Chains A and B, each alone.
Chain A
Amino acid sequence: DAKTTQPPSMDCAEGRAANLPCNHSTISGNEYVYWYRQIHSQGPQYIIHGLKNNETNEMASLIITEDRKSSTLILPHATLRDTAVYYCIVRDDNAGNMLTFGGGTRLMVKP
């Protein structure tokens, strides 16, 4: 079973920031939080990951709470091309490169 909980869907206006929440209350000390997204009919795309510090790259920012029980993915200026299903995943430290996907959040960016 996925170790994360995400809202099934969210809307965002084009040009505004999209803030996608994720709960992972059972995360253990050395597990990373990963975010992927899947645009319709394509393979998932890596976005960002982090352990406990906030992270930023050219695609997004990842904010992890101090207790590490939740995180937020921020797309600072959403575009129509950001419409996708976003998956928050906690990597099991005993499971190699296995990713356990939950239902994800379907983000709809609207003009």
Chain B
Amino acid sequence: KAGVTQTPRYLIKTRGQQVTLSCSPISGHRSVSWYQQTPGQGLQFLFEYFSETQRNKGNFPGRFSGRQFSNSRSEMNVSTLELGDSALYLCASSLGEGMNTEAFFGQGTRLTVV
């Protein structure tokens, strides 16, 4: 079956702009999580959506937001971009029920803010 699809793969934006990233989970998966990966901070959890509701949120400013649609596809938005937002943004999908399930990651979107 198809894996997790993230679009776009690469993106260059200017400081102050906003950006929207998209994630299509594996068919049948209802949980989508987002992570930011930078060389300095490593992999950090942003938020998780399950059945269109935000279930968990990491320690990021309000400029970072997301949503999930009824077909489980998810978007994340970053407003007023800063240079420090340059990172690899990863999306992971899970069945979403219970703990004993693994997460499948997409290839990520590499965002560069100039």
Contact = CB atoms under 8 A, between A and B. Distances in A.
Interface string B87-114: 0101010101001111111111000000
B45 interface: yes
Contacts of B35: 99, 101
Classify the interface of chain A: helix, strand, loop or mixed: loop
Given A32-B100, A44-B90, A91-B99, A98 B45 contact: yes
B94 A97 contact: yes
A38 B90 CA distance: 12
A32 B44 CA distance: 19
A46 B106 CA distance: 12
Nearest to A51: B100
Contacts of B31: 96-97
A24 to B, nearest CB: 15
B43 A101 contact: yes
B50 A96 contact: yes
A43 interface: yes
Contacts of B101: 97
